[in-house]
């Protein structure tokens, strides 16, 4: 099936409104960290900007699994609705605190609360696609295509979000990016919460006690290492750009573009290869391509290397989330998806914290060496611990989720 036909088949599961709403609702999660850094740096200095943006990032990583578990237990409607309203208000509070030049601790408190209340649209949208696809006779194939499609939406948001933050900060006001994020959350976060595909609270069954926690921890470790690859690469690119955020942002966006393209192509043959094998191959290709960063010494070379690595990013993430869907009971699906999303965020934060001083002392190649190391460790971990017998292709999670899911 051509990729375009497969994507149309996925969209028909819920209609065109859900992808549009979910994209605009998840855009603030990509816009806020960059927008916060730009705003606070412009209004209070780079040191203050790094602290405030860092705690927002940490809050987002910590709050994800908590909101995911609440969504499982209480249903998407009340949890995402409350989180969207709270997040819009707290984002506005960050803006007011920065404009008023309040002390760093006050701004940090607002930022961490903003991070904690991010509505987790991306991870929770995957549970909706799983339910909608699993209702069909060709459910197993459509689940893979739906996860691939959602990864494309995610990758696109993480290209558009930082770019939009930069453009608004430059053309309008340093705070314009966060004002836009608050408005998007208040409108589209609420619309996503109220969309008729939102699952209700999952029925508690004994299957919840038999969750395959060990295999899920392996996938969590993979996402942390994947996030470290992102963070280290981005740090090296920014250092290579010598502080020119425009050039650095354009180079970095090449990964999102190529990853989204690869994810779109994967929608057409998502079920043709075993997910464990696909994950091993994707990580092997990614580890090899990451080596092309080491000789890079200019923006054009970095762009080519980053774009090449991006071709393996979407296949890796699609396989990771697909394997998580296999081993996770419906009662814990939202928690599992948000946990893996938080792993990506935590890995990026760890790498940025470590690679900033490393690049400052030894140059961009040192940060790129961390990229290669993280990629190699992820591959070794998967080769050692990810086996088909630990991630059996049974659709039990889908069938239970379908039983409780509303019609679109």
pLDDT per residue as tens digits for the range 359-383: 888 888 999 999 999 999 999 999 9
Q: Indicate whether 130 pLDDT > 90.
A: no
pLDDT score recorded for residue 190: 96
Give residue 406's pLDDT band: very low, low, confident or very high (50, 70, 90): very low
- Which residues in 112-126 are b (16+ Cβ under 10 Å) and which e? bbbbbbbbbbbbbbb
Confidence of residue 213 (pLDDT cuts 50, 70, 90): confident
Q: In 10 A of CB 11, how many CB atoms?
A: 16
Give the lowest-confidence range in 15-29, 50-64, 258-272, 387-401: 387-401
pLDDT at 243 over 70: no
CA dist., res. 216 & res. 340, Å (int): 9
Query: Which DSSP symbol is given to 120?
Result: -
Between 4 and 302, the more confident residue is: 302
Count the neighbouring beta carbons within 10 Å of the beta carbon of residue 298: 9
Considering 75-84, 194-203, 326-335, the range whose residues carry the highest mean pLDDT is: 75-84
Mean pLDDT across 321-343: 89
- What average pLDDT is seen over the chain? 84
What residues contact 20, with CB distance under 8 A and at least 6 apart? none
Is the pLDDT assigned to residue 204 strictly greater than 70?
no
Residues 6+ apart with CB under 8 A from 192: 21, 22, 25, 80, 84, 119, 121, 125, 198
Q: Average of pLDDT values for 44-72?
A: 87
b/e map 366-380, b = 16+ CB within 10 Å: bbbbbbbbbbbbbbe
Average pLDDT of span 93-108? 94
pLDDT tier, 279 (very low <50, low <70, confident <90, very high otherwise): very high
pLDDT of 211 above 60: no
For 186, the enclosing helix (H) or strand (E) is: none
Residue 294's pLDDT is: 95
Residue 52, CB-side half-sphere exposure with 13 Å CA sphere? 34
Give the residue among 395, 209, 197, 386 at the shortest CA–CA distance from 282.
386
Rank 90-104, 160-174, 389-403 by mean pLDDT and report only the highest: 90-104
* pLDDT tens digits for range 138-148: 666 677 778 88
Q: Which residues contact 4 (CB under 8 A, 6 or more apart)?
A: none
What share of the chain has pLDDT > 70, as a percent? 86
Q: Is the pLDDT of residue 66 over 60?
A: yes
pTM, full prediction: 0.85
Give, for 83, the enclosing helix (H) or strand (E). Answer: helix 76-99
The values of phi and psi at residue 39, to 5°, are -65, -50
Structural element, H or E, at residue 210: none
pLDDT of 271 over the 70 cut: no
Residue 402: pLDDT above 50? Answer: no
What is the structure's pLDDT at 238?
A: 77
For 167-186, the pLDDT digits (tens) are 888 888 989 999 999 999 99
Domains and CATH numbers, the chain: 3-404 (1.20.1250.20)
Question: 174, 242, 191, 241: which is closest to 77 by C-alpha?
Answer: 191
Comparing CA positions, the residue from 134, 132, 146 lying closest to residue 7 is: 146
According to the model, what pLDDT value does residue 189 have? 96
Task: Give the tens place of pLDDT for each residue, 280-313.
Answer: 999 999 999 999 999 998 888 999 999 999 999 9
With a cut of 70, say whether residue 26 has pLDDT above it: yes
Give the Cα separation of 365 and 396 in Å (integer).
Answer: 46
Average pLDDT for residues 337-362, to the nearest whole number?
Answer: 88
For 2, other C-beta atoms within 10 Å of its C-beta total 10
Which residues lie closer than 8 Å to 312 by C-beta, 6 or more apart? 262, 282, 283, 285, 286, 289
Mean pLDDT of 247-276: 76
At residue 229, what are phi and psi to the nearest 5 degrees?
-60, -45
Q: Which of 13-27, 156-170, 325-339, 366-380 has the lowest mean pLDDT?
A: 156-170
Residue with the larger pLDDT of the pair 7 and 264? 264
- Angle, helices 17-44 vs 76-99, to 10°: value is 20
């Amino acid at each position: 099936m051509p990729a375009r036909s497969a994507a149309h088949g996925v969209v028909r599961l819920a209609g065109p409104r859900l992808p549009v709403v979910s994209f605009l609702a998840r855009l603030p999660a990509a816009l806020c960290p960059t927008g916060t850094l730009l705003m606070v740096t412009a209004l209070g200095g780079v040191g203050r900007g790094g602290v405030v943006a860092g705690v927002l990032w940490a809050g987002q990583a910590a709050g994800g699994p908590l909101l995911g578990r609440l969504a499982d237990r209480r249903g998407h409607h009340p949890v995402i609705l409350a989180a969207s309203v709270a997040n819009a208000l707290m984002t506005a509070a960050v803006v007011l605190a920065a404009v008023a030049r309040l002390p760093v601790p006050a701004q940090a408190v607002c930022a961490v609360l903003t991070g904690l209340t991010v509505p987790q649209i991306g991870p929770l949208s995957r549970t909706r696609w799983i339910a909608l696809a699993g209702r069909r006779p060709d459910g197993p194939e459509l689940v893979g295509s739906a996860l691939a499609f959602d990864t494309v939406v995610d990758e696109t948001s993480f290209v558009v979000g930082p770019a939009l933050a930069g453009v608004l900060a430059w053309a309008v006001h340093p705070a314009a990016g966060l004002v836009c994020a608050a408005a998007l959350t208040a409108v589209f976060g609420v619309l996503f919460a109220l969309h008729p595909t939102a699952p209700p609270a999952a029925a508690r069954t004994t299957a919840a006690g038999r969750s395959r926690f060990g295999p899920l921890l392996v996938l969590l470790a993979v996402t942390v290492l994947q996030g470290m690859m992102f963070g280290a690469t981005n740090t090296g690119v920014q250092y290579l750009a010598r502080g020119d955020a425009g050039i650095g942002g354009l180079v970095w966006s090449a990964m999102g573009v190529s990853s989204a393209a690869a994810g779109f192509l994967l929608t057409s043959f998502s079920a043709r290869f075993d997910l464990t094998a696909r994950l091993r191959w994707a990580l092997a290709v990614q580890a090899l391509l990451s080596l092309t960063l080491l000789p890079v010494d200019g923006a054009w070379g970095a762009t080519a290397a980053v774009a090449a690595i991006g071709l393996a990013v979407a296949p890796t993430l699609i396989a990771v989330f697909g394997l998580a869907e296999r081993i996770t009971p419906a009662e814990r699906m939202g928690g599992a998806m948000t946990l893996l999303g938080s792993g990506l965020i935590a890995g990026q934060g760890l790498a940025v914290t470590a690679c900033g001083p490393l690049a400052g002392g030894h140059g961009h190649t040192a940060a790129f060496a961390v990229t290669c190391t993280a990629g190699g460790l992820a591959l070794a971990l998967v080769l050692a611990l990810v086996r088909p017998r630990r991630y059996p292709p049974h659709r039990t999670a889908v069938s239970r989720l379908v039983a409780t899911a509303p019609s679109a």
